Amino acid sequence: MEFYYDHMCFACGNQNPIGLSLKFEVQGGKVKTHFTPQQVHEGYPGVMHGGLITTILDEVMARSVNMLGSHGVTARLEVRYREAVPIGQEITFESTITNARKTIIDLEAKAFLPSGKVAAEALARFMVMGKIEEGKKIHEE
């Protein structure tokens, strides 16, 4: 599945001048992205804002839904923070589908520090809104 980024999505759109500009890859059935938070992404000094961590966890899970050829929306999301995410260090986010039905997809995602420690983890349920038509972009304006 090829992912398109030519739109205004805050998380992945390359036309959003203040967005996160995330890019995704599929490896072994998991969707991954890497992000290095900067000072503008702080909550407490030197630490990435938890809401932005949640945003990336949510977005990487949405890409897993896309990997099935569908697009969907978050119905439920639970996040557990385990470690502070430091500014200036690359964080790896990955998601996995745990259960897929016709209209509901359950997922899990994790954020890993460079040491390999889990900084945050999420469980989510997405509602399938439709199939992605061949040759169409995931997000169209």
d(CA 119, CA 124): 17
Q: Which residues contact 111 (CB under 8 A, 6 or more apart)?
A: 53, 56, 57, 85, 91, 92, 93, 118, 119, 120, 121
Q: How far is CA 61 from CA 5, 39, 55, 86, 87, in A?
A: 16, 25, 10, 22, 23
Contact (Cβ atoms closer than 8 angstroms) between residue 90 and residue 107: no
* Alpha-carbon distances, residue 131 vs 6, 71, 113 (angstroms): 19, 6, 34
| Alpha helices (H) along the chain | 50-67
What pLDDT score was predicted for residue 12? 83
Question: pTM for the complete prediction?
Answer: 0.89
Specify the pLDDT at position 141: 32
Report the distance separating Cα 79 and Cα 65, nearest Å: 18
pLDDT of residue 130: 87
Give yes or no for a contact between 71 and 138, defined as CB atoms under 8 angstroms apart: yes
Domains and CATH numbers, the chain: 25-131 (3.10.129.10)
**Residues of the chain where predicted confidence (pLDDT) is lower than 50:** 135, 138-141
